[in-house]
């Protein structure tokens, strides 16, 4: 009896030790991934982060990912310090919206040498070991500027609402805009200011600019265009300027409103899709797991494009059947419609996931299609945007207009 009990006891101990070993092995396979935000003061940033969080909690990623979020603010030094802490804490990967294209390079390269994968979304860096997943090389600045010029017939007073100073997104957009505006002598840039991708700050800055330039014909805006519209509406509700901007639901609803159309409102809704963050996260996970090998480190996400005469309201909470805008009351006016709506790339997400960061019940992670499908391509390597210098094979940005046919320069 004693021997039998002893055998049973030894078996129980062995089972217990095996369970600990299995548990330890499973725990060791979990990837420690940091979500690093710099600027976080708008709905866009929240939607992008929520796309990542929802995916990280979708099976089987929910058993594979230990996701930790850090918000650094707009100081490069603060984000550098946070990167250093993430590396020291054993990060397997860092997915990030970087505050600067160059200031973070040294710490990124140090982390790469220690085996950390760096995936940047939307904004980019020039460190050669980092992966940049962004739409900015697809030409938001030059395409929206050309659309504006066409609507004005090549002549008029224009104001520009920029984003966050020093960020690659703002730099690439502004230079793209100016590459078009400079071709048309009849286009006069009467004011340029920074709205910091915030509707509140854009509204205030635009109101001040309109007070100085009440006869403006158009406003070329980065994110914050709904604030631009509200400022223009307050300044003169009967005479609205052409407005080009990004993907907020409010500007698209305004484009589709007859009384605003009658007052002259038209333009285009384009720009930065928060869904890029979700795509970058899935790409990161496939690279970490060895499921996808990338030929290049720079990936271009497709540019959304909704001219004012092509706004189509969705009957419910899903973007399907060609619709691109939610009805009033479904989302706040500052909501970015391009947070979802990519079923071939991000079938795991829906509107609530993008708004809350919670996974969609019953959905599982689906494999990504190869690069080259559904508008995702390898990006050109541009000096100062995603590549350090011409000596390393970078080229100057070409600023190609692809969404609209340029009008001839008007003769005097």
Backbone φ, ψ for residue 371 (5° rounding): -60, 135
Each residue of 296-307: b (16+ CB within 10 Å) or e?
ebbbbbbbbbbb
Q: Which of 15-19, 40-44, 130-134 has the lowest average pLDDT?
A: 15-19
pLDDT attached to residue 41: 67
Q: Which two tokens stand for residue 215?
A: 């006869």
Looking only at the bridges linking them, the beta strands covering 267-270 and 242-245 are parallel
pLDDT of residue 73: 87
| pLDDT confidence of residue 4 | 46
Q: Is 56 exposed, middle or buried (0-12, 13-18, 19+ CB in 10 A)?
A: buried
Is residue 245 helix, strand or coil? strand
pLDDT tens digits, 195-222: 999 999 999 999 999 999 999 999 999 9
Residue 412, classified by CB atoms within 10 Å of its CB into exposed (0-12), middle (13-18) or buried (19+), is: exposed
Instruction: Look at residue 412 in the predicted model and tell me its pLDDT.
Output: 66
Q: What pLDDT sits at residue 392?
A: 73
Q: How much is the pLDDT for 411?
A: 78
Rounded CA separation 172/167 (Å): 9
Per-residue model confidence (pLDDT) at position 5: 52
Per-residue model confidence as pLDDT tens digits over 39-58: 676 899 999 999 999 999 99
- What is the spatial distance between Cα 132 and Cα 200, in angstroms, rounded to a whole number? 29
Kindly report the backbone phi and psi dihedral angles of residue 403, in degrees, each rounded to the nearest multiple of 5, phi listed first: -100, -15
Contact by Cβ (8 Å): 218, 151 = yes
Summarised one tens digit per residue, pLDDT across range 72-122 is 988 999 999 999 999 999 999 999 999 999 999 999 999 999 999 999 999
Q: Would you say residue 269 has pLDDT above 80?
A: yes
Which stretches of 29-167 are DSSP H helices?
A: 43-56, 61-64, 76-88, 105-113, 140-152
* pLDDT tens, position by position, 64-73: 999 999 999 8
Q: How large is the average pLDDT for residues 13-23?
A: 45
Cα 329 to chain centroid distance, Å, stands at: 24
pTM: 0.90
- pLDDT at position 174 is 98
- Looking at every residue in the chain, the average pLDDT score rounds to 92
273-293 average pLDDT score: 97
Identify the structural domains of the chain with CATH numbers, from first to last: 28-137+274-305+337-392 (3.40.50.2300), 139-270 (3.40.50.2300)
Name all contacts of 307-315 with Cβ < 8 Å and 24+ positions apart. 307/147, 307/267, 307/268, 307/269, 308/255, 308/256, 308/265, 308/266, 308/267, 308/268, 308/269, 309/255, 309/266, 311/252, 311/253, 311/255, 311/256, 311/269, 313/256
Res 139 pLDDT > 90: yes
Tokens 């609530």 sit on residue: 352
Q: Is the pLDDT reported for residue 353 higher than 90? A: yes
SS3 call for 119: strand
Q: Residue 242 above 70 pLDDT?
A: yes
- Alpha-carbon span 39 to 165, nearest angstrom: 11
What distance in Å separates the CA atoms of residue 347 and residue 369, rounded to the nearest whole number?
A: 12
Q: How many CA atoms lie within 13 Å of 1's alpha carbon, on the beta-carbon side?
A: 0
């Amino acid at each position: 009896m004693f021997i039998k009990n002893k055998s049973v006891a030894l078996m129980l101990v062995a089972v217990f030790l095996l369970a600990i070993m299995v548990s330890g092995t499973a725990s060791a396979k979990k990837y420690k991934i940091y979500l690093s935000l710099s600027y976080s003061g708008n709905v866009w940033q929240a939607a992008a982060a929520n796309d990542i969080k929802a995916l990280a909690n979708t099976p089987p990623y929910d058993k594979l990912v230990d996701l930790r979020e850090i918000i650094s603010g707009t100081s490069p030094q603060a984000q550098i310090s946070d990167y250093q802490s993430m590396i020291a804490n054993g990060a397997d990967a860092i997915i990030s919206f970087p505050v600067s294209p160059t200031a973070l390079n040294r710490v990124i390269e140090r982390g790469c040498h220690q085996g950390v994968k760096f995936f940047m979304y939307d904004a980019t860096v020039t460190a050669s070991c980092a992966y940049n997943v962004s739409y900015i090389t697809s030409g938001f600045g030059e395409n929206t500027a050309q659309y504006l010029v066409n609507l004005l017939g090549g002549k008029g007073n224009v104001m520009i609402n920029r984003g966050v100073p020093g960020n690659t997104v703002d730099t690439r957009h502004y230079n793209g805009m100016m590459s078009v505006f400079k071709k048309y002598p009849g286009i006069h840039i009467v004011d340029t200011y920074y709205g910091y991708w915030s509707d509140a700050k854009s509204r205030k800055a635009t109101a001040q600019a309109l007070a100085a330039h009440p006869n403006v014909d158009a406003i070329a805006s980065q994110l914050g265009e709904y604030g631009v519209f509200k400022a223009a509406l307050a300044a003169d509700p009967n005479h609205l300027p052409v407005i080009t901007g990004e993907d907020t639901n409010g500007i698209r609803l305004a484009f589709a409103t007859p009384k605003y159309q009658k007052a002259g409102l038209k333009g285009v809704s384009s720009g930065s899709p928060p869904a890029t963050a979700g795509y970058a996260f899935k790409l990161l996970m496939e690279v970490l797991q060895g499921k996808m090998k990338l030929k290049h480190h720079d990936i271009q996400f497709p540019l959304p494009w909704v001219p004012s005469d092509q706004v189509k309201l969705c009957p419910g909470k899903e973007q399907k059947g060609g619709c691109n805008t939610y009805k009033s009351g479904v989302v706040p006016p500052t909501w970015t419609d391009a947070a979802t709506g990519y079923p071939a790339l991000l079938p795991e997400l829906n509107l609530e996931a993008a708004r809350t960061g919670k996974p969609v019940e019953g959905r599982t992670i689906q494999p990504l299609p190869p690069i080259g499908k559904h508008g995702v391509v390898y990006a050109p390597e541009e000096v100062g945007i995603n590549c350090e210098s011409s000596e390393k094979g970078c080229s100057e940005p070409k600023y190609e207009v692809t969404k609209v046919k340029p009008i001839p320069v008007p003769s005097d």
